[in-house]
Structure 1
Amino acid sequence: MYTPALADAEIPYTTERVADVARVLSSYGDAIAIRMYGAPAGWVYGAAHRHLEAFAERSHVPVINMECDRFHPCQALADVMTLREQLGGLAGRKLCISWAYSGSWHKPVAVPQSLLLAAVKTGMDVTLAYPPPFALDAQVMAAAAQFAEQTGARIRVTHDLRDGVSDAHAVYAKSWCSLDHLPQRSGAGVDEMGMNAAFERHRDWCVDADIMRLAGPNAGYLHCLPVDRGQEVSDEVIESPASWVFQQAANRLHAQNAVMAHLLNPGSLT
């Protein structure tokens, strides 16, 4: 089995250039769906996304991003669908996107980054809450600011969980890795000591009932699943009426169907 690779990472009799793989696979079906981040990309931030871009450049059929190290657009579609179902119109509504502790650091920034972009496009006011080591991609933040200017949305950053959740209509709290401790080049390795230390300093970043009481009346909790119970969120919250998590998970089916219908049968959703 040969591993698809970009031109600068080819190994004889081990890899096959993405450009070749894309053209072959696109002759076998009507679309290509790819999910790639972390170890397959050497944890180099952006490397997995570059693989998807290379596939898309050479493929003759649509390429669907099922999650890379930068973005998770399919999850964001289900997230916004759930927010609309629960809140109705989203313009001016307050969304807190918060980092949360996990015993594992192996989670990309794809979900919060895609959600941030999608939320401000709908006009939601977004508060990003995270400890200082867990800032998002500066390019994504700049793009979000541009979208916010177009829609009138506001973006605020805080390093205090309680401040971030305060008066929010929806709280989306999950863990993600620190970009500061990822390698800059292939083969360099993750700074696991620094990464783990950053996580352990913030074990108290968990959404429990006391935290949710700071949010607005009838506020909901969201998470993309799977969730680390007792770390990212308490059982009390995720099993409560305030949890929109399982509705959100069910909406992944409808969001994926919509993507495939749009790509494979253009005009079918109009």
Structure 2
Amino acid sequence: MSARHFLSLMDYSPEQLSSLLRRGIELKALRDRGVLFEPLKGRVLGMIFEKSSTRTRLSFEAGMIQLGGQAIFLSTRDTQLGRGEPVADSARVMSGMLDAVMIRTYAHSTLTEFAAHSRVPVINGLSDDLHPCQLLADMQTFLEHRGAIKGKTVAWIGDGNNMCNSYLEAAVQFDFNLRIACPEGFEPNPAFLALAGNRATVMRDPREAVKGAHLVSTDVWTSMGQEEETARRLALFAPFQVTRELLDLSAPDVLFMHCLPAHRGEEISLDVLDDPRAVAWDQAENRLHAQKALLEFLVAPAYQPA
């Protein structure tokens, strides 16, 4: 039987995704009560990082430890991947020694090729196309604060990047309406827009996008690998900064999210993360709990030894 992977929100049914969110909330409650729960004892997660990280590394490493397992950090500088070993060969070798592999990379094709040759689950910790683990945390955070997101309106303000692509997938899987406000030429990938169909609308005015929205989300204007575009992007995106005044146009019970790290004074005003409508710190913590639910689902043994 082939391994089950998590490369995209589309890899699971809406029911399975909702179940993961509920399980994340349950595991969070166990942790808060100090209950020891170690279903992954003896299991090992390999974590391959081509891109730097704070939340992804901490959440996966701490999550495996809290579930009784272990995690091994691997950068491309420390492995043969960095010296040109084919991805398929690395997948065959690593999956013979590990129980799951998390990859944070640039090209999404690295993930799909690795998964195609892996005997164990492969998890997308971020690619240039998608960031599905972050969306699990975002959806768990909304569920905790406001209940089901089905039928609600979400506004994405800024670059049509990997986070925006994952929000488009989330619109399909969690059945909400997504408005995307971005400068011309910075729209999300057309394939993901087509997938979302009439659930998604691209517009140029952030004020129109947030009008009546129940969730407003954004990300940095310059992603890793785009640093040479910084000056141009700062000028083009300036009208798309999320401020308290912009949030005032949203629904009275709006939540504001940011996947972090945040560049205060750029995509957000200096004070917006201190606004009571902002839940970025809960959102960041929920990376841990949502991913623990995912790890339990993918890695927990099918049987327990006598």
Instruction: Give TM class, smaller chain.
Output: 0.7 to 0.9
Structure 2: runs of 5 or more not aligned: 1-77
Alignment of 1:25-174 (within 5 A): 25-37=94-106, 48-99=107-158, 109-145=161-197, 154-174=199-219
Residue 81 of structure 2 aligns with which residue? Answer: 4
Identity %: 36
Residue 18 of structure 2 aligns with which residue? Answer: none
Does the 8 Å CA contact 2:234/2:266 hold for their aligned counterparts? no
| Residues 1:241 and 2:241 are matched in the alignment | no
What letter is aligned with 1:157? V
| Residues 1:264 and 2:299 are matched in the alignment | yes
Does the 8 Å CA contact 1:133/1:198 hold for their aligned counterparts? no
What letter is aligned with 2:171? A
What letter is aligned with 1:137? N
Distance 2:209 2:297 in 1: 36
Does the 8 Å CA contact 2:244/2:275 hold for their aligned counterparts? no
Shift of 1:77: 0.5
Structure 1: runs of 5 or more not aligned: 6-13, 38-47, 101-107, 149-153, 183-189
Shift of 1:113: 0.9
Structure 1, residues 125-167: CA drift from partner, whole Å, max 9, x if none? 111111112111011111122xx6xxxxx32211111111111
Shift of 1:191: 10
SS at match of 1:221: strand
* RMSD (CA atoms): 2.4
Q: TM-score, normalised by structure 1?
A: 0.76
Distance 2:298 2:228 in 1: 40
Does the 8 Å CA contact 1:79/1:115 hold for their aligned counterparts? no
Does the 8 Å CA contact 1:2/1:15 hold for their aligned counterparts? no
Q: How many residues align?
A: 225
Does the 8 Å CA contact 2:215/2:255 hold for their aligned counterparts? yes
What letter is aligned with 1:131? P
Distance 1:128 1:266 in 2: 41
